[in-house]
Chains A and B, each alone.
Chain A
Amino acid sequence: MTSVSASADRNKQVWNVIVWLLLLTMPYWMPLTGGYTALASRVLVLALAAMALNFLLGFTGVLSFGHAAYFGLGAYGVGMTIKYLVPSTGLGIIVGILIGTLAAALIGALIVKLRGVYFAMVTIAFGQVFYFIAFRWNSVTGGDDGLSGWRRVPIDLGFTQIDILGNDKAFYYLVLFCFALSAGAMAFILKSPFGRTLLAIRENERRARFLGIPVERHIWLSFVISCFFVSLAGALYALLNNFTDPRALRWDQSGNFVIMAVLGGMRSFWGPLIGAVIFVVLQDYVSTQTEYWMSIIGIFFMAVVLFFPRGVLGMLKRKRAA
């Protein structure tokens, strides 16, 4: 028993090292495979969003199909801060995170009592509120055309300046820095007693309740934490594009996050990252190949559900166990 878990731990360590090495060097090997630095940044940003969603979906067992709302709020938060208030990337990110997290805290309080399919449906519906606000509030958000006319601002550290605007690789490393902090924080939370309690709720909510665990409060907190990281991802996504539009908030974006988590394997910490790599690269490729890329993505969704419901890592794990 101990030797098995020790070797599993060593395996985990090895995988962690491999993942971080690949991510650290991504801008250098990505062009060799036909990609480009901005695509690497996009993979990483969306992976962060999918991992944040999976904090709730895979590790608390609660399905939100409306995470794009908080992603989009982060995006609009950073864009509007830079455009209307202060030309500061750091401050913009903070505002984006604050807005997204605050909205999640309020909406979360309304919905934590709901379960299963009902919870999912309410998150879908609430997800659309912000879409309509962004769509309708033309004078401020730019409406359907999106929020443009602003750009990310180089970060001034006092002793030196990081040119994230002109240098794609510098921006990639900013994203990687945020990603590493977030992944570390999420892993830390999941290892803490609080994180273990979330797993207990996922496995058997009734039993957790009988043990005296305040289930609603835990789910609410998990929802808010998850949305905190999703808003950060949204803010980075807007910075990456120097632009954001209502589609960042729409339900198909939420669906994309869920499919990334499922595709990679939602019971694994790194699963959503793998899902994001596959999905983003596929979408990037397909949308340049055919006008009817939507149906290919749609068929891909159905194929994942019917043939790979456990995701890539889930299948590997199962094979190893067999």
Chain B
Amino acid sequence: MTTLILFNIFNGLIVGAFYALMALGLSLILNLSGVINFAHGGFLALGGYFAYMLIPVIGFWGALLVAPALVAVLGLIIERILIRRIYGRDPLYGLLLTFGLAFVLQDATRYFWGAQSLPYQIPTVLASPLSSQFFFLTGYRLFMIAIVAIAVIGLFLILNRTRLGMRIRAGTLDLDTVSALGVNVRLLRNVNFALGIFLAGLAGVLAAGMLGLQPTIGDSLIMPSFVAIIVGGLGSLPGTLLGGLLIGVASGLTTVIFPSATEAVMYVMMGLVLLLRPRGLLGEEGRLQ
């Protein structure tokens, strides 16, 4: 029983790490540009497929870095052509635009790689269990957690230690002032968008090994990511991280007790948070309400 509970908590933690990675990217874009990116799941899928193509050529470790980078470049381009046109307009238009983009991305992956789930190699070093009692502790699972942790630490280092990060944080608070101080806001939003997409691509490379690579792989992750952002508090990246891990572990635990409610439990949590603390766990008061 203990093993079972530990297994599900651990599973929840991994899933939560995916939610968090995806939600952090969504949050970055939402905070600076006010766009809810419905197409985030599509970019995640592309990350997985790019890695699938790259692994035979440059190996898993290379693909782990190059595939998200390629997706990020695509993000740069799409932001320039499409997303930037709806900045400053009613949020309605951002939702509809990225909604359409999500459809197009999903169809494009289906066109190029087919609707079936593709076999996805992970390095054999990582595939075997580390201990016979805790069979679920495979190297790949620990490795995923480690990579997510590194990515998150890297993101917070960029945000807190670099000039770019400082500008992103400042722009989240007051974009007009940042612009008046001579920062190229168009470029800032462009790079920020790509940074968010990079995280989605990275989540895709990792998730493909666990969830199976198919065009709809992002669908099951995007809604929980929204919930993670709301639970954690809109506008707060640490909140988003906390929210993602929290709802992941909560769903993991619910799987033991009442499997049918695995998804429902995160919405219950969201309802409770909105009832008791509408700004979210770590959200600032009055912001974006």
Residues on the A chain within 8 Å of B100, using CB: 297-302, 305
- Which of A79-87, A131-139, A169-177 interfaces with chain B? A131-139
Q: Is the CB of A125 within 8 A of B223?
A: yes
Chain A's nearest CB lies how many Å from the CB of B7?
21
In whole Å, how far is A123's beta carbon from the nearest beta carbon of chain B? 10
In this complex, how many residues of chain B approach chain A with their Cβ under 8 Å: the count is 45
Query: Within the assembled complex, what's the spacing in Å between the Cα atoms of A252 and B86?
Result: 20
CB contacts (< 8 Å) of A258 on chain B: these are: 92, 95-96
How many A-B pairs have beta carbons closer than 8 Å: the answer is 124
B79 contacts partner chain A, Cβ-Cβ < 8 Å: no
A110 on the B face (CB < 8 A): yes
State whether the Cβ of B253 lies closer than 8 Å to any Cβ in chain A.
no
* B271 contacts the other chain (CB 8 A): yes
Residues of B within 8 A of A (CB): 30, 34, 36, 82, 85-86, 89-97, 99-104, 106-108, 110-111, 223, 226-227, 229-230, 234, 260-264, 267, 270-271, 274-275, 278, 288-289
Q: Give the residues from 285 to 322 in chain A that come closer than 8 angstroms, CB to CB, to chain B.
A: 292, 294-295, 297-302, 304-306, 309
| Chain A interface, DSSP helix/strand/loop, else mixed | helix
CB distance from B122 to the nearest CB of A (A): 29
For B103, the closest partner residue in chain A by CB is A298
Q: Are B95 and A120 in contact (CB under 8 A)?
A: yes
Other than A111-B274, A292-B111, A306-B85, give 10 A-B pairs with Cβ distance below 8 A: A117-B34, A120-B92, A121-B226, A252-B99, A258-B96, A259-B96, A292-B107, A298-B100, A302-B100, A302-B101
CA distance in complex: A251, B103 (Å): 12
The answer to whether B104 and A305 touch across the interface, beta carbons within 8 angstroms, is no
The answer to whether B289 touches A126, judged by C-beta atoms less than 8 angstroms apart, is: no
B274-A122 in contact (CB<8A): yes
Partner of A110, one of B95, B234, B274: B274
- Chain A interface size band reads 35 or more
**B97: contacting residue among A65, A116, A120, A301, CB under 8 A:** A301
Contact across chains for A120 and B91 when beta carbons are under 8 A apart? yes
Q: Do A299 and B104 form a contact, CB below 8 Å, given A132-B263, A258-B96?
A: yes
- B91 contacts A63, CB within 8 Å? yes
> In the complex the two chains form, what is the Cα distance from A129 to B226 in whole Å?
13
Contacts of A259 in B (CB 8 A): 96
Interface: A73 (CB within 8 A): no
Residues in B with CB closer than 8 Å to A128 are 223, 263, 267
Is A115 an interface residue when CB atoms closer than 8 A count as contact? yes
A255 touches B275 (CB 8 A): no
User: Contact at A255–B99, with CB atoms within 8 Å?
Assistant: yes
Interface centre among A57, A259, A305 (most CB of B within 10 A): A305
Query: For B30, what are the chain A residues with a Cβ–Cβ distance below 8 Å?
Result: 117
Partner of A121, one of B36, B108, B275, B289: B36
State whether B108 touches A295 (Cβ < 8 A).
yes
Q: Determine how close the nearest CB of chain B comes to the CB of A197; give it in whole angstroms.
A: 21
Q: Which of A117, A302, A309 contacts B91 (CB 8 A)?
A: A117
Instruction: Please state if A301 and B227 are interface contacts (CB–CB under 8 Å).
Output: no
B226 cross-chain contacts in A, Cβ below 8 A = 121, 124-125
A110-B271, A302-B101 known; A262 vs B230 contact (CB < 8 Å): no
B227 touches A125 (CB 8 A): yes
Give the CA-CA distance A129 to B197 in the complex, in Å.
26
Min CB distance, A293 to chain B, in Å?
A: 8
B86 to chain A: which residues have CB within 8 Å? 305
Query: Shortest Cβ distance from A318 into chain B, in angstroms?
Result: 17
Interface residues of A in 91-114 (CB under 8 A from B): 110-111, 113-114
A15 contacts partner chain B, Cβ-Cβ < 8 Å: no
CB pair A295 B267 closer than 8 Å: no
Nearest A residue (CB) for B231 = A125
- A118 within 8 Å of B by Cβ? yes
Q: Could you tell me the distance between the alpha carbons of A45 and B12 in the complex, rounded to whole angstroms?
A: 41
Which of A117, A118, A262, A295 counts the most chain B CB atoms within 10 A?
A118
Interchain CB contact under 8 A, B234 and A118 = yes
Question: Do A65 and B82 touch across chains, with their CB atoms under 8 A apart?
Answer: no
Q: For window 252-293 of chain A, which residues contact chain B by CB distance below 8 Å?
A: 252, 255, 258-259, 262, 292
Cα A102 to Cα B229 with chains together (Å): 26
Most buried by B among A121, A124, A258: A121
B92 proximity list for chain A (CB < 8 A): 57, 63, 120, 258, 262
Q: A132-B264, A301-B103, A302-B82 are in contact. Are A116 and B96 (CB under 8 A)?
A: no
